[in-house]
């Protein structure tokens, strides 16, 4: 009983530490990456004993310290309670979403088989969707509670945008769920361990390429970053919904953005890119298509799978940051047209096509 | 579901539900309603109704209430705006509320009461509340109701489009 509880607690801790630390590292990737793209040096101000470590000291030590020690300013006419609650709601919701995302297959220790997923839920994917959809309250509340017109406009834009893109996102997930016939993300991950024709790993992207594109576009829109950063829109709204925030609360909004990026990457990896699967790696070792095989101890297999998951997630985080620094911002009508007249009809067609194929395959 | 957990969740539910009607700021009322819906979803979760819980959060808390907030923020309702302030409306509200409470007690609590109490009617059958079972029930036993509801939704969508078009002209 106590051991079981302990195992769940450790798994939850591992997931939270993985997510929050990755969010910190992404801060560095973003600042250094944008500097490289724009041909600047960037993030080179802080150093310890003359060591700047390519901006790591700046972004991983100096910035957090600065945020933590800054004065927390609440505007005089703001709603004090909601102003404080808003950043917490957003960060909480997106972090909790990871509970249902599997980060590995199983770990066998001392006769126990531990499922490497914080909480096995049979509604897994819906749980993640629910939590991501709750994170919009951080934006709405932050925008309203600040009692500032720029914040309010940002909050209103944010709620309209997230609601619009959530529909296309949900519909792209419907097609994915139809393909795997399960809502549990761990089962989806295991289903991708099969081989098509004996050599091609059966990753979701091969079955649902369109759903991947829709989900990824809608996912970037959910993170509210360029090219979909209308809620923030610094050339129009100062800083949008978090204009009136400083110090730790500002940092929390910042973190929410990065955790959302990781959440989208985690879902993309899990549903379309084989989750923690390494091609040809099964629970007892490699089994190559030619018939050759290499047996490995279970612990090494588990470590390789967790690493595989993390590398894939990191790749999609990096991709999103590169997209953010490459594309210009959409206009508001373009944003709405793309969501409602572009993504939504295509995702509906995708659901229809998937249903027809699924029926045909079942015969 | 352990009684202690139930009492805690029920208390949270009642407090947030009271917040919906007792607070003055429309935004805070709406937020109290979000909290109510969320706590209700948690209760569903502990009662083995995982799918219902997820839908509750996605549809009500995550979508409908965001639109509510959107409208409240757009209209910029202030604390002193109270549309239902006149006495007649209050009397009607109290009457309708009591009627609803009476109906709820008569049709839900009263028939179920003998089955409540310690043990809460025993463990649910295997697979209870799972997406598969719910889907099977919905598309076989309740197919007619399901289709009627979809038609109703379609009518509402068309109605919304017609209304929006007329304003533009």
Comparing CB atoms, the residue among A79, A127, A159 nearest residue B66 is: A159
Per-residue model confidence as pLDDT tens digits over A188-199: 888 888 887 777
Chain A residues within 8 A of B44 when measuring between CB atoms: none
**Pairing between β-strand A102-109 and β-strand A112-117 as defined by DSSP bridges:** antiparallel
Interface test with A, best of B37, B45, B57 (most A CBs within 10 A): B57
d(CA B11, nearest CA chain A) in Å = 21
8 A C-beta contact, residue A296 and residue A280: no
Indicate yes or no: CB of B74 within 8 angstroms of CB of A134.
no
Nearest CA to A86 out of B16, B113, B34 is that of B34
Query: Whole domain around residue A200: which residue ranges?
Result: 80-362
Determine the residue of chain A that is closest to B75 in CA distance: A156
Number of domains in chain A: 1
pTM score, whole prediction: 0.84
Predicted ipTM > 0.90: no
Residue A55 within any structural domain of the chain: no
A100 touches chain B (CB under 8 A): no
Can you tell me the mean pLDDT for A164-182?
A: 88
**Banded model confidence at residue B46, pLDDT cuts 50, 70, 90:** confident
- Residue B45: its pLDDT value, please? 83
Report the SS3 class of residue B167.
helix
**Banded model confidence at residue B123, pLDDT cuts 50, 70, 90:** low
B1-82 belongs to which CATH class? Answer: mainly alpha
Q: Is residue B82 pLDDT above 70, yes or no?
A: no
d(CA B161, nearest CA chain A) in Å = 14
Q: Is residue A51 pLDDT above 60, yes or no?
A: yes
Residue A340 within any structural domain of the chain: yes
Chain A residues within 8 A of B38 when measuring between CB atoms: 134
Q: Where are the alpha helices (DSSP H) in A71-194?
A: 80-96, 124-134, 136-145, 149-180, 185-191
- Range of weakest confidence among A110-124, A213-227, B28-42: A110-124
**Banded model confidence at residue B7, pLDDT cuts 50, 70, 90:** confident
Indicate yes or no: CB of B73 within 8 angstroms of CB of A140.
yes
Mean pLDDT for chain B overall = 81
- Range of weakest confidence among A62-66, A209-213, A342-346, B98-102: A62-66
Chain centre to alpha carbon of residue A94: 8
Chain centre to alpha carbon of residue A291: 37
Chain A residues within 8 A of B28 when measuring between CB atoms: 82
Residue A18 within any structural domain of the chain: no
Side-chain-side CA neighbours of A108 within 13 Å: the count stands at: 7
Domain boundary assignment for chain B: 1-82, 84-119, 130-169
Determine the residue of chain A that is closest to B71 in CA distance: A156
Question: Which residues, other chains included, contact A83 with Cβ-Cβ below 8 Å and sequence gap of 6+?
Answer: A74, A75, A142, A145, A146, A244, A249
Determine the residue of chain A that is closest to B77 in CA distance: A144
Question: Residue A104: what are its φ and ψ, rounded to 5°?
Answer: -175, 175
Residue A39 within any structural domain of the chain: no
Residue A62 within any structural domain of the chain: no
Indicate yes or no: CB of B58 within 8 angstroms of CB of A130.
yes
Chain centre to alpha carbon of residue A89: 17
Q: How far is CA B98 from CA A163, B15, B105, B108, in A?
A: 35, 19, 11, 15
Indicate yes or no: CB of B131 within 8 angstroms of CB of A183.
yes
Residue A16 within any structural domain of the chain: no
Indicate yes or no: CB of A163 within 8 angstroms of CB of B63.
yes
Mean pLDDT for chain A overall = 84
Per-residue model confidence as pLDDT tens digits over A236-261: 777 778 888 888 888 888 888 899 89
Residue A337 within any structural domain of the chain: yes
- Residue B167: its pLDDT value, please? 62
Can you tell me the mean pLDDT for A82-92?
A: 88
Chain B residues within 8 A of A159 when measuring between CB atoms: 66-67, 69-70, 73
Residue A38 within any structural domain of the chain: no
* Pairs of CB atoms within 8 A across A/B: 69
What percent of chain B is predicted at pLDDT more than 70?
A: 80
Burial class (CB in 10 A: 0-12, 13-18, 19+), A166: buried
8 A C-beta contact, residue A346 and residue A210: yes
A88 touches chain B (CB under 8 A): no
Chain A residues within 8 A of B74 when measuring between CB atoms: 156
């Amino acid at each position: 009983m106590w051991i079981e509880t302990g195992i769940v607690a450790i798994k939850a801790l591992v997931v939270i530490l993985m997510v929050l630390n990755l969010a910190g590292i992404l801060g560095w990737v973003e600042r250094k990456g944008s500097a490289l793209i724009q041909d600047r040096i960037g993030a080179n101000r802080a150093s310890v004993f003359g060591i700047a470590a390519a901006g790591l000291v700046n972004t991983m030590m100096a910035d957090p310290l600065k945020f933590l020690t800054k004065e927390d300013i609440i505007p005089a006419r703001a709603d004090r309670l909601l102003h404080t609650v808003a950043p917490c709601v957003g960060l909480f919701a997106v972090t909790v979403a990871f509970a249902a995302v599997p980060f590995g297959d199983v770990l066998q220790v001392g006769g126990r088989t531990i499922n490497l997923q914080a909480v096995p839920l049979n509604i897994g994917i819906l749980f993640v969707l629910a939590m991501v959809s709750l994170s919009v309250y951080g934006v709405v509340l932050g925008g309203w509670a600040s009692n500032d017109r720029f914040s309010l406009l940002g909050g209103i834009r944010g709620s309209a945008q997230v609601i619009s893109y959530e529909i296309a996102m949900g519909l792209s997930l419907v097609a994915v769920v139809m393909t795997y016939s399960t809502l549990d993300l761990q089962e989806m991950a295991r289903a991708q361990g099969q081989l098509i024709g004996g050599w091609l790993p059966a990753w979701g992207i091969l079955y649902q390429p369109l759903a991947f594109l829709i989900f990824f576009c809608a996912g970037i829109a959910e993170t509210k970053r360029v090219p979909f950063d209308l809620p923030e829109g610094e050339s129009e709204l100062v800083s949008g919904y978090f204009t009136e925030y400083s110090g730790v609360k500002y940092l929390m909004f910042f973190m929410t953005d990065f955790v959302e990026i990781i959440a989208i990457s985690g879902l993309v990896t899990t549903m379309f890119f084989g989750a923690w699967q390494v091609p040809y790696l099964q629970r007892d070792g490699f089994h190559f298509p030619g018939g050759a095989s290499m047996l490995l101890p279970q612990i090494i297999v588990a470590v390789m799978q967790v690493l595989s998951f993390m590398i894939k997630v990191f790749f999609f985080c990096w991709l999103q940051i590169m997209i953010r620094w490459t594309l210009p911002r959409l206009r508001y009508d373009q944003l709405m047209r793309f969501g409602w007249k572009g993504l939504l009809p295509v995702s509906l067609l995708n659901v229809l096509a998937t249903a027809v194929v699924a029926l045909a395959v079942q015969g | 579901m352990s009684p202690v957990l139930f009492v805690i969740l029920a208390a949270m539910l009642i407090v947030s539900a009271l917040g919906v009607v007792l607070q003055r700021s429309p935004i805070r009322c709406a937020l109290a309603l979000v909290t109510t819906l969320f706590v209700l979803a948690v209760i569903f979760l502990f009662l083995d109704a995982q799918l219902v819980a997820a839908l509750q959060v996605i549809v009500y808390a995550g979508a409908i209430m965001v639109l509510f907030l959107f409208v409240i923020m757009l209209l910029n309702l202030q604390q002193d705006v109270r549309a239902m302030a006149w006495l007649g409306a209050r009397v009607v509200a109290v009457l309708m509320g009591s009627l609803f409470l009476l109906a709820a007690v008569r049709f839900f609590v009263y028939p179920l009461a003998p089955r409540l109490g310690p043990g809460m009617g025993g463990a649910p059958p295997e697979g209870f509340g799972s997406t598969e079972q719910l889907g099977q029930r919905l598309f076989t036993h309740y197919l007619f109701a399901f289709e009627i509801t979809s038609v109703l939704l379609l009518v509402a969508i068309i109605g919304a489009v017609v209304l929006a078009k007329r304003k533009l002209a």
